[in-house]
Structure 1
């Protein structure tokens, strides 16, 4: 499980956009997003840099926890 701090998430659209972006790169990825804590947990075979890149492509600032 990889956990990231993601700034700029505020609604269901954000959750959907990030989830879809990650699952486009790894259809088997399990994504859990906590809007209040501004965290994204990802269980995936993707390396951390690929996860960060996918989230950044959606317009969010990302840092590893």
Structure 2
């Protein structure tokens, strides 16, 4: 499954790496791509292993806000 999340607070390469690394370390996430310009994160994942809530939690643990 693929999902695009709107994330506030990401502004630099470090932000991008922090979020991508946190998501790629989740079991079930196959790819996470941060687009700083648009403030979006594209995530490809296996729904049987990880859910959107866990993905949002991982982003928020890095200090960024996921916007509905």
Q: CA RMSD in A?
A: 1.4
Which sections of structure 1, spanning at least 5 residues, go unmatched?
none
| Count of equivalent residues | 64
Which sections of structure 2, spanning at least 5 residues, go unmatched?
none
> What is the TM-score of this pair, normalised by structure 1?
0.88
Larger RCO (CA within 8 A; separation ≥ 6): 1
More helix by share: 1
> What is the TM-score of this pair, normalised by structure 2?
0.84
